[in-house]
Structure formats: structure tokens, C-alpha cells
């Protein structure tokens, strides 16, 4: 299926690895010009991608990244706010409402909410000048499943869902579509790195890292598929939502979670 992305300009945050790298590669393979934003360059990017080094905890960084997309390619058609998860220096999961302090709450919201808000704020005028565009925000099933684990992260993603819906309502009539992809547990370095989620869970589950990834985590999260989500599966959903082929899809939440969310 031709996604009609050839020649379009896309900006992807958190593009050095995991979901962001998979999204950047997929959009480029579909013919888009990609601005890949991350603190450092990670995996090899395709030829149509330009890397922009930026720390999205810096309030000015999202606007500078959008400006670079305009400078390089003349505009912006697609924004993928993927940067998120544990902020630099933070390991998740962590359990208990009283565990994160004010500074940790602020850091979590800066990374998972405000970086996206600032990117959207910078992108909307540029997209309006082009007659519209598509914004895809990477959220989480935790946004609608409150609990004691990662409460600050889940709250930030819940707020991101609200912002996504609000922006879709305001700017949909002017041609800007906004959707979220709510990911379940995705097999990225959040899980696999030293000190990552797999090792943390292994510590309180009495298991080893590999068995957590292969069995313990899928069972604990009641994944129907029996495995963690592959980053490419998120990227494929993003590409479809970014495409004009999804022209009547806006304000929607697209689940790619291995069947983790059971609610209707």
C-alpha cells in the first residue's frame, strides 16, 4: 500500500534508538524527508534523514528542531513526539506514590509532556502554512490504567492524551490531524539496558533478566500475545497515522500493546 508519504517532511523526537529510530527509518523508507532529533546520534539513519542534536529537557530545543526542519526541507508535514519514558538519570519502574519527589515529578513531566507541548506549539503554525499536517504522539497504556507503579510517568502520559485530543479538536478543521499511539511494554533499552526495567523487575520477582523479558513481564502484564511489543510494530502504526490514507482519523488513540489493556 502506498502511504503517500514521498516528499513529505517529518520530525521525529527520541530518534536515536528503539521506537524513535524505527519510526525515522520507516518514514524515510516510505519516501519522507526525516529530521531525527535526539541528544546523540544512535543507530544508522537512512540517507533521507538528517540528525539534529537536541536535549528536549531544554525548553527551547523543540522550537529549534522545528526551525531546522524548515531550514533543511522548507516546511513540516509530520511531527512524531516519541521522546519519553524515563528521563535522563532515572530508572523505571519505581513503585509508590511517595517515591518520586517534586523534582522527579517535574523532570518526568518536562520529558514526557512539556517537550511534546513545545514541539506541537512550534509545529502548528508551520503546518498551517502548508495547509495541514499530522501529529502523532507516543503515549502509553499506563495513561488509563492508574496504579502505584510509575504514577508520575502515567500521569504525564494521561496529560499528553488530553493535549492530543484538545489540539485535534481545535486544529482539525484547518487540516491538522492529531492522534496518539498507546504502546504497551516495548522491547527497547528501557527494558534491556543494565539497570533497566528487566533487571529491576528481576530483583523483586526472584528471576533473571532474560526470563523477565521472555516470560515474567508478559505474564505479569497479561499480554495476550505472550511477548513484548517490537518497536517496528509501533513504527508501522505511526506511519499509517501519519499518512493521508488516514485522513479521517484524528483525535484517536491507537493501541499497540500486545492485548495488555482489557477495558472497552
Q: Is 171 a catalytic residue?
A: no
Q: Which residues, 6 or more positions from 73, have their beta carbon under 8 angstroms from its beta carbon?
A: 9, 33, 35
Going by their DSSP bridges, the two strands 33-38 and 9-13 should be labelled as: parallel
Rg (alpha carbons) of the chain, rounded to whole number: 18
End-to-end CA distance of the chain: 30
Q: Which of 153, 171, 190, 254 is catalytic?
A: 153
Catalytic residue ranges:
153
Amino acid at each position: 500500500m502506498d502511504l503517500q508519504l514521498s516528499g513529505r517532511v517529518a520530525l521525529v523526537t527520541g530518534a536515536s534508538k528503539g521506537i524513535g529510530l524505527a519510526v525515522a527509518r520507516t518514514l524515510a523508507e516510505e519516501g519522507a524527508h526525516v529530521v531525527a532529533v535526539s541528544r546523540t546520534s544512535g543507530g544508522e539513519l537512512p540517507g533521507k534523514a538528517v540528525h539534529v542534536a537536541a536535549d528536549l529537557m531544554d525548553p527551547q530545543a523543540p522550537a529549534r528542531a522545528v526551525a531546522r526542519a524548515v531550514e533543511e526541507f522548507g516546511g513540516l508535514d509530520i511531527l512524531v513526539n516519541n521522546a519519553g519514558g524515563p528521563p535522563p538519570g532515572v530508572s523505571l519502574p519505581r513503585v509508590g506514590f511517595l517515591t518520586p519527589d517534586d523534582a522527579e515529578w517535574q523532570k518526568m513531566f518536562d520529558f514526557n509532556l512539556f517537550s511534546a507541548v513545545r514541539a506541537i506549539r512550534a509545529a502548528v503554525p508551520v503546518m498551517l502554512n502548508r495547509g495541514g499536517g499530522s501529529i502523532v504522539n507516543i503515549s502509553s497504556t499506563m495513561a488509563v490504567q492508574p496504579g502505584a507503579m510509575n504514577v508520575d510517568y502515567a500521569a504525564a502520559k494521561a496529560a499528553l492524551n488530553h493535549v492530543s485530543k484538545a489540539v485535534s479538536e481545535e486544529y482539525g478543521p484547518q487540516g491538522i490531524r492529531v492522534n496518539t499511539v498507546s504502546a504497551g511494554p516495548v522491547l527497547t533499552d528501557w527494558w534491556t539496558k543494565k539497570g533497566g526495567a528487566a533487571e529491576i523487575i528481576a530483583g523483586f520477582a526472584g528471576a533473571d533478566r532474560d526470563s523477565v523479558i521472555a516470560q515474567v513481564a508478559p505474564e505479569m502484564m497479561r499480554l495476550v500475545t505472550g511477548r513484548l511489543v517490537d518497536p517496528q510494530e509501533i513504527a508501522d502504526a505511526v506511519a499509517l497515522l501519519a499518512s493521508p490514507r488516514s485522513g479521517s482519523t484524528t483525535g484517536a488513540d491507537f493501541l499497540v500493546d500486545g492485548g495488555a489493556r482489557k477495558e472497552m
